[in-house]
Structure 1
Amino acid sequence: MLVLAITALVAVVVDQVVKHLSTNGLTEGEPVRILGGLIYLSLLRNSGAAFSLGSGYTWVFPLVTLVVIGWIGWMTRKLRSVPWAIALGLVLGGALGNLGDRLFRAPGPFQGHVVDMVSLFGPYGEHFAVFNIADSCLSVGVVLAVLLELTGRQRDGSRITKTKAEKTA
Structure 2
Amino acid sequence: MPESKPATPDVAPVARPVGRRGLVTVLVVAAVVTVLDQLTKAWALAALDPGVRRPVLGRWLGLQLISNPGAALSIATGMTWVLTVIAVVVVVVVIRTARQLGSRSWALTLGLLLGGAVGNLIDRMVREPGPLRGEVVDFIAYGSWFIGNVADIAIVVAAGLAMVLVARGIRLDGGREGAARADA
TM-score (norm 2): 0.83
> What do residues 37-77 of structure 1 show as CA deviations (whole Å, max 9, x unaligned)?
32110000000001111111111111001111111122113
Counterparts of residues 28-107 of structure 1 (less than 5 Å):
28-107=50-129
State how far apart, in whole Å, the 1-side matches of 2:170 and 2:99 are.
16
Aligned residues: 159
143, 147, 150: which is aligned to 2:160?
A: 143
State how far apart, in whole Å, the 2-side matches of 1:10 and 1:77 are.
19
- The amino acid across from 1:158 in the alignment is G
4+ runs deviating over 4 angstroms: none
State how far apart, in whole Å, the 2-side matches of 1:82 and 1:8 are.
14
Aligned to 1:34, what secondary structure does the other structure show? Answer: strand
RMSD: 1.2
**More deviation, 73-82/22-31:** 73-82
10, 16, 38: which is aligned to 1:16?
A: 38
State how far apart, in whole Å, the 2-side matches of 1:70 and 1:20 are.
26
- Unaligned 5+ runs, structure 2: 1-22
Higher helix share: 1
- The amino acid across from 2:38 in the alignment is Q
**More deviation, 68-77/24-33:** 68-77
- Unaligned 5+ runs, structure 1: 165-169
Larger Rg: 2
Aligned equivalent of 1:114: 136
**More deviation, 12-21/154-163:** 154-163
Instruction: Among all aligned residue pairs of Structure 1 and Structure 2, give the percentage whose two residues are the same amino acid.
Output: 37
- For residue 80 of structure 1, report the CA deviation from its aligned partner: 1.6
